[in-house]
Structure 1
C-alpha cells in the first residue's frame, strides 16, 4: 500500500485529487476495505456517489475499473465467461478443410482453447494483475446470483470445466453498490464492509461542484446546490443526485447563466429532472424552490 492509501487522511487527499470529495467516514471505510482485503458494500439513494467512489479508487490505485452492471435475470455466465461460438465454428471448418481434425478428443480440446474464451467482468477481474471490480446495483439481481457472487468473493477463484480453476494472483478490490430496491441477503453483507452513502449537504455539494467544474461562478454553484437540496425534499419521482447537479451547473454555464433565476432554471430543467411529471410539478413551483 503506497503513501496515497496509507491512512484514511491520505486517502481523502488522494480521492480529492480525482475530483471525489470523501468525508472521513467514507475514506475510512474505503481504507479499511483496502487494508483488510474485504469487499466494500455501498448502499444509498441513487446519485449519492457510490459508483463514483469505485471509479475514484481505480484512479487512485492506477488500475483498471471493471464494471459488472447487474440487472433482473443476470446469471453466472453473463458475469463470468462465455465461449466464442462463431470463432469455434470457423476453427472447426478450417480443421475439416485442411484434414487436420484428428481424433474427436483432439478436436474438442482445440475448440475449448483459451483463445476462444470470452472473459466477462468477474473473470477479467480475477485474471487482472490489479483491478477494481465494481458490481453495480446488486439489488437488481436475484438470490441465485447473490449466492454465486458470494462464493467468488470468498474463494477469489472460479472453475471452468473445460480449462480448470482460475484463481486470482492479486484479488481485485471489490465495490458493490445497492440502491436498496430490495434487501440484499445478510450472507453477502457479512462478507463485506458496509458503507451508507447519503446526499451531501449544501456546503459539501458546493465544494463538489467547484472541484468537478473549474471556473464555476461562486454564486451559481451556491444556488444550484441549494436548489438541488430543495428538489430532493420535494417528493419527486426521481430526486436529483450529485450527477444531476453537475449536469445542471454545466448546462447553466453553457447557456451563459451567471446565476440561477426562473428563466434559466426552466430552460435547463431537462438536465436535472428526468420525468415529465417532476418537471411539471417543479415548473409550477419554481419561484418557491429557487427562493433563498
Structure 2
C-alpha cells in the first residue's frame, strides 16, 4: 500500500468519509470516538466480540491518515523481548571476536556492546523511533497476561521507552494507538485509564448490509440481505464462534458464485468454521417446527418465509 502524506481530520464527518474511502463503514458514534482519539492524541481501546471489525478499523485508519501501520499481535506468553526490544547476541558476539585481538580493555569492549547498533527493534520501540507518524495496533491485548499491560503503560502514557543500558527514547512523532480486546478477560484499570474506550458490537442489519455491499459490490442486494439475515440468526445460536463480518462478506461472494442460491448447506462453509457449530446450525435451520392453534396442531417443514430458516431451506428458489 502506497502511503500519502500524513493527514488529520477536521471533524467526525471528515473521518467517517475518509474511512469510507477505505471501504470501512463507521457509524456516527464510532467516528466521533476515533476522531477524539486522534485529536487528543489518546490511545483508543476497542472492546467487543471477535469479528466485528476492530482490527480492520485500525488498518483503515492508517490508510485514511496516510500512516504506516505497525502491528503488535498479542498472545499468551508474549514477553518484553517481543514487545519492546532485545539485544542481538549473535551480532554482539561477532563484534567481540572482531575486536578481541585489537583491544585489551574488557570494560571498553563491553561498553560498546550496548548501543543502538545491537538493538533488535520490536513493534513498540519501532513506533517510538519512527520518523514518520504511524498507527500502532496492539491487537487482542486481552490474550496476554496482566503483567504485560505494565510494559505498555510507559508507551501509552508518556510516549517513551526506557532502555537501562542506553537511556530513554521519546517518540519522535505521536503515534495513533489502537488497542483491541475480544473481552476474554477484564483489562486492568490502569490500562483503561490511559485510553478512550469504545465497545464495538455487531452492526445493525441495515449497517451490515451496507458494509457487505461495499466490500462485495458485485453481489445483488437481495442476496446480500439473505446472507446477512442468515448470519444474524447463526449469531443467536450457542456456537463456539459466531460469523464475523468478514465471513459474511465471504458468504455473500460464495452465494453469488453458487448462482445466488443461499439455500445450499455448502454456504455454511463460509460462515461456520467448527464441525460442532455446523451441526448446531444444520439442526436449527432444518428442524421441523410444531405449531399449535385453537383448531389443530400441524407440523410445518420450514418456518414462515420472512425467517432465516426459510431463507436457508428454499428461498434460493423463491418459493
Question: Which residue in 2 is equivalent to 1:248?
Answer: 251
1:224/1:260 contact within 8 Å kept = no
Q: 1:284: how far off?
A: 2.7
Cα distance in structure 1, aligned partners of 2:220 and 2:96? 63
Cα distance in structure 2, aligned partners of 1:107 and 1:4? 47
Question: Which residue in 1 is equivalent to 2:83?
Answer: 79
Tell me, what secondary structure is at the counterpart of 1:205?
A: helix
RMSD across aligned C-alpha pairs, in angstroms?
1.9
Cα distance in structure 2, aligned partners of 1:2 and 1:114? 27
Greater RCO (CA < 8 Å, at least 6 residues apart): 1
2:45/2:178 contact within 8 Å kept = yes
1:156/1:167 contact within 8 Å kept = yes
Selected match of 1:219 from 219, 222, 226: 222
Cα distance in structure 1, aligned partners of 2:212 and 2:171? 38
- Pairing 1:205–2:208 present: yes
- Pairing 1:104–2:106 present: yes
Q: How does 1:95-244 map to 2 (within 5 A)?
A: 95-96=99-100, 99-128=101-130, 129-244=132-247
Q: 1:188: how far off?
A: 1.3
Cα distance in structure 2, aligned partners of 1:103 and 1:250? 68
Q: 1:36: how far off?
A: 0.7
Cα distance in structure 1, aligned partners of 2:6 and 2:94? 47
For residues 236-280 of structure 1, the C-alpha deviation after alignment (integer angstroms, 9 at most, x for no partner) is 111111021122223334xx22323332xx223222112110011
Q: TM-score, normalised by structure 2?
A: 0.84
For residues 180-235 of structure 1, the C-alpha deviation after alignment (integer angstroms, 9 at most, x for no partner) is 11111122111111101010121111111121123122222111111111111122
Question: Which residue in 1 is equivalent to 2:317?
Answer: none
Cα distance in structure 2, aligned partners of 1:220 and 1:100? 75
Q: Comparing 9-18 with 78-87, which one deviates more in the overlay?
A: 78-87
Tell me, what secondary structure is at the counterpart of 1:29?
A: helix
Q: 1:94: how far off?
A: 2.6
Q: 1:179: how far off?
A: 0.9
Q: Comparing 190-199 with 205-214, which one deviates more in the overlay?
A: 205-214
Tell me, what secondary structure is at the counterpart of 1:60?
A: helix
2:37/2:44 contact within 8 Å kept = yes
Unaligned ranges ≥5, structure 2: 287-302, 312-319
Tell me, what secondary structure is at the counterpart of 1:5?
A: coil
Q: 1:76: how far off?
A: 2.3
1:3/1:10 contact within 8 Å kept = no
Q: 1:49: how far off?
A: 0.9
Q: How does 1:35-46 map to 2 (within 5 A)?
A: 35-46=39-50
Question: Which residue in 1 is equivalent to 2:295?
Answer: none
Cα distance in structure 2, aligned partners of 1:221 and 1:101? 72
- Kindly indicate which of the two structures has a greater share of residues assigned to helix: 1
Larger Rg belongs to: 2
Selected match of 2:29 from 17, 25, 31: 25
The number of residue pairs the alignment matches comes to: 286
Question: Which residue in 2 is equivalent to 1:284?
Answer: 283
- Pairing 1:7–2:11 present: yes
Q: 1:283: how far off?
A: 2.2
1:262/1:286 contact within 8 Å kept = no
For residues 16-38 of structure 1, the C-alpha deviation after alignment (integer angstroms, 9 at most, x for no partner) is 00010000000000000001111
